[in-house]
Chains A and B, each alone.
Chain A
Amino acid sequence: MTQETPSSEARRPDRAALAIAAGIAIVAAIIAYSTATAVGGSATRIGPAVFPYAIAGGLFILAIWTAFEAMRGDFPEREEQRIQPVVWIVGGLVAQMLLLHITGFAIATGLLFAATARGFGKGPLWMTVPIGIVLSFIIWVIFAKGLELSLPAGPLERLI
């Protein structure tokens, strides 16, 4: 956020909270639209469409209420956030998600481990990546072999 909000100043409309209100309203609209266009449905009066409409309605009211509180600046003050750690951790999760079926569990999860540690300021990656891979490999052995959990295997796991 670019806008500075010193606490001594009078509260002004909270843009982020307004965005939440808009988001909730959009979700409500999607639920209502998806329910209205659903094919089939049961012949009884109280079919599978009743609850979705009720929840969409509820969300819509909450969106208006949120917008109202946002205009009054009623939302609690937020701590300033650091973006970089979030990018590292989300990047780690994305890497694991995409690589899981290509490189197997150990390498994909090792990267997630290293990226998370990096997000908390622990480096260097050439050290944390191998640590993560070794750790994940041990976990793979315990859970895939010991507890018969279906964890995807890659080149590393096929060695044993």
Chain B
Amino acid sequence: MDSFALLAHGFAVAFQPFNLLYALIGVTLGTAVGVLPGIGPALTVALLLPVTYKLDPAGSLIMFAGIYYGGMYGGSTTSILLNTPGESASIVTALEGNKMARAGRGGPALATAAIGSFVAGLIATMALALIAPTIVKFALSFGAPEYFALMMLAFMTVSAAFGDSTLRGLTALFIGLALGLIGADGLSGQVRLGFGIPDLTDGVEITTLAVALFAIGETLSVAASKSTGEGKIEPVKGSVWMNREDWSRSWKPWLRGTFIGFPIGAMPAGGAEIGTFLSYSVEKQLSKKPEEFGHGAIEGVAGPEAANNASAAGTLVPLLTLGLPTSATAAIMLAGFQQFGLQPGPLLFATNPQLVWGLIASLLVANFMLLVLNLPLVGLWVRLLSIPRHWLYAGILVFATLGTIGANPSTFELGMLLLFGLLGYFLRLFGYPIAPVVVGLILGPMAEIHFRRALQISQGDFTVFVGSPISVILLLLAVCAVVVPLILRARGKGKVLAALAANED
């Protein structure tokens, strides 16, 4: 069967009333958390994991994917109207979008962001449906050594390749890997780093760690910050519709943003931020009115927003086809699959096609819902921005602990939550990235199992890891992901410093 027949079957699943309802809940929640500063899609999915234990797997996963897409849409609203990006991938949108809002063009900025997100989401989800079967076919030939190499590559790109410091990225990754060691070893059952505490036998709960790092760490970090962070909300004046010129200046950036964002999301290369930055600089280069950049150029909103959503869809490619999460949200979605006893990867396409294709079809449905939710109803979301911070964060902590208590109502688990929350606060304080910790915790034990399995099959022969061209290439790429940025940074830093010095004259 080709992709389209499979996708048609997927739509049959997606259009079941309950799945439509889950998708609607997902996109609504996702938009809300995207709009609210301080909570992102990763945290929301983590909070919902314990609540969905008793729900239907397909429905829950559809809801999670809706949250992911919705978060990407909602984030743009906050960056345009408040200049405080709701999630990291919307930073670039704030550059031009907030300038447009200040100039009274907030409406068209919101519209180009929403329609651009829609176009990108549509194309990228179709691309996901088209290339997934090919990757699955390819991945079926993967053995333990290839998977190990793939995970090494994911580790290195998520932690070292991007962000502002190789050292702090790697340190965050190793904290996650060390936490992943705790508990019974997957192959021998031996308890490691248990320190005689029975509660540690099952290891560190992914949801506890994610909720603590994202919710509690973020709350502490915001509370302790001296700057109040309360920006001015720009009211949306005039029509939200775009005029002829806006359309003609937007459609090319949408398409370019999509084609930049999707591959970046699809490669095991982490965050959606990179695609948005790339798209922004491309639009700046190609624009007929480069002088408008920095003063509210619509291209600077259209391109990055499209790239942002396209890379969210791209992230689902390695997650669904290889079981490889490359962002914090994807890592927690993987935990969501595992909660239902499902392991994403090539086998899932064979054993549970209704679920996989239903999920992909639901993404297309969710995308339509989001367009409706975000354009005419944008005024409703803007009101969320006026919730006072003290109630907002008090509510976030109540729900954060609710999720943990619901999963395991023990004093010990809450103690872990507090401990990891403080860890999250200190990581933020000292400029360490958070996502590598979560990815390390989830992928670490999986990488270990593939590593040991490979050596069991080869009877201890280490050359098994360079035994196929695929694993050699993947391992080489992993090395490049660490070394190249180190060199670039060593050089680039000098340039940046020089530029700063020149500006001060």
Task: Check A86/B224 contact, CB under 8 A, given A17-B430, A117-B394, A135-B398.
Answer: yes
Task: Check A113/B394 contact, CB under 8 A, given A55-B178, A76-B164.
Answer: yes
**82-110 of chain A: CB within 8 A of chain B:** 82-83, 85-86, 88-90, 92-94, 96-98, 100-101, 105, 109
Is B402 on the interface with A (CB-CB < 8 A)?
Answer: yes
Contact indicator B388/A122 (Cβ below 8 Å): yes
Which residue of chain B lies nearest to A119 when distances are taken between CB atoms in the complex?
B223
Q: How extensive is the interface on chain A, given as a class?
A: 35 or more
B227 CB contacts on chain A under 8 angstroms: 79
Task: Check A89/B219 contact, CB under 8 A, given A41-B190, A100-B411, A117-B390.
Answer: yes
Contact indicator A97/B411 (Cβ below 8 Å): yes
Contact indicator B185/A48 (Cβ below 8 Å): yes
B188 CB contacts on chain A under 8 angstroms: 41-42, 47-48
Contact indicator A52/B193 (Cβ below 8 Å): yes
Indicate with 1 or 0, residue by residue over A119-154, a CB within 8 angstroms of chain B CB atoms.
111100000100010011001000100011111100
Contact indicator B405/A151 (Cβ below 8 Å): yes
Contact indicator A38/B190 (Cβ below 8 Å): yes
Task: Check A93/B418 contact, CB under 8 A, given A85-B224, A109-B402, A149-B50.
Answer: yes
Task: Report Cα–Cα, A66/B415, bound state, in Å.
Answer: 28
Indicate with 1 or 0, residue by residue over A1-40, a CB within 8 angstroms of chain B CB atoms.
0000000000000001100100010010011001100101
Is A46 on the interface with B (CB-CB < 8 A)?
Answer: yes
Contact indicator A150/B192 (Cβ below 8 Å): no
| B292 CB to nearest chain A CB (Å) | 32
Task: Report Cα–Cα, A96/B394, bound state, in Å.
Answer: 13
**414-432 of chain B: CB within 8 A of chain A:** 414-415, 417-418, 421-422, 425, 429-431
Contact indicator A89/B414 (Cβ below 8 Å): no
Task: Report Cα–Cα, A130/B40, bound state, in Å.
Answer: 29
Task: Report Cα–Cα, A17/B405, bound state, in Å.
Answer: 34
Indicate with 1 or 0, residue by residue over B377-412, a CB within 8 angstroms of chain A CB atoms.
000000000001111011101100110011001010
Chain B contact residues, majority secondary structure: helix
Is A71 on the interface with B (CB-CB < 8 A)?
Answer: no
Which residue of chain B lies nearest to A121 when distances are taken between CB atoms in the complex?
B390
Of B23-31, B268-276, B345-353, B449-457, which stretch is located at the interface?
B449-457
Contact indicator B394/A94 (Cβ below 8 Å): no
Is B483 on the interface with A (CB-CB < 8 A)?
Answer: no
Contact indicator A90/B418 (Cβ below 8 Å): yes
Contact indicator A75/B430 (Cβ below 8 Å): yes
Instruction: Select A151's contact among B219, B388, B402, beta carbons within 8 Å.
Output: B402
| A122 CB to nearest chain B CB (Å) | 4
Is A69 on the interface with B (CB-CB < 8 A)?
Answer: yes
Task: Check A152/B409 contact, CB under 8 A, given A79-B225, A89-B397.
Answer: yes
Contact indicator B389/A120 (Cβ below 8 Å): yes
Contact indicator B174/A48 (Cβ below 8 Å): no
Task: Check A117/B391 contact, CB under 8 A, given A75-B431, A76-B431.
Answer: yes
| A51 CB to nearest chain B CB (Å) | 5
Contact indicator A89/B223 (Cβ below 8 Å): yes
Most chain A CB within 10 A, of B54, B391, B451, B456, is at B391
A42 CB contacts on chain B under 8 angstroms: 187-188, 190
| B462 CB to nearest chain A CB (Å) | 10
Contact indicator A31/B193 (Cβ below 8 Å): yes
Indicate with 1 or 0, residue by residue over B429-456, a CB within 8 angstroms of chain A CB atoms.
1110000000000001000100110011
| A117 CB to nearest chain B CB (Å) | 4
A82 CB contacts on chain B under 8 angstroms: 223-226
Contact indicator A98/B411 (Cβ below 8 Å): yes
Task: Report Cα–Cα, A117/B50, bound state, in Å.
Answer: 25
| A27 CB to nearest chain B CB (Å) | 6
Most chain A CB within 10 A, of B223, B227, B409, B430, is at B223
Contact indicator B177/A38 (Cβ below 8 Å): no
Is A78 on the interface with B (CB-CB < 8 A)?
Answer: yes
Contact indicator A86/B220 (Cβ below 8 Å): yes
Is B91 on the interface with A (CB-CB < 8 A)?
Answer: no
Indicate with 1 or 0, residue by residue over B449-474, a CB within 8 angstroms of chain A CB atoms.
00110011000100000000000000
Contact indicator A150/B409 (Cβ below 8 Å): yes
Contact indicator A81/B390 (Cβ below 8 Å): no
Contact indicator B414/A116 (Cβ below 8 Å): no
Which residue of chain A lies nearest to B389 when distances are taken between CB atoms in the complex?
A120
Task: Report Cα–Cα, A149/B404, bound state, in Å.
Answer: 11
Is B181 on the interface with A (CB-CB < 8 A)?
Answer: yes
B181 CB contacts on chain A under 8 angstroms: 31, 51-52, 55
Q: List 13 A-B contacts (CB under 8 A).
A: A17-B430, A20-B430, A34-B195, A48-B187, A81-B225, A89-B220, A97-B418, A116-B219, A119-B223, A119-B393, A135-B398, A139-B398, A149-B405
> 9 closest Cβ contacts across the A-B interface?
A122-B390, A85-B223, A120-B390, A149-B406, A97-B414, A116-B394, A48-B185, A117-B390, A81-B224
Q: Which residues of B does A touch, CB under 8 Å?
A: 50-51, 54, 164, 167, 170-171, 174, 177-178, 181, 185, 187-188, 190, 192-193, 195, 216, 219-220, 223-227, 388-391, 393-395, 397-398, 401-402, 405-406, 409, 411, 414-415, 417-418, 421-422, 425, 429-431, 444, 448, 451-452, 455-456, 460
Besides the known contacts A82-B226, A112-B394, 16 further A-B residue pairs in the complex with CB atoms under 8 A apart: A34-B192, A35-B192, A46-B460, A48-B185, A69-B167, A78-B430, A79-B226, A86-B223, A93-B418, A112-B398, A114-B394, A116-B397, A139-B402, A149-B405, A151-B405, A151-B409
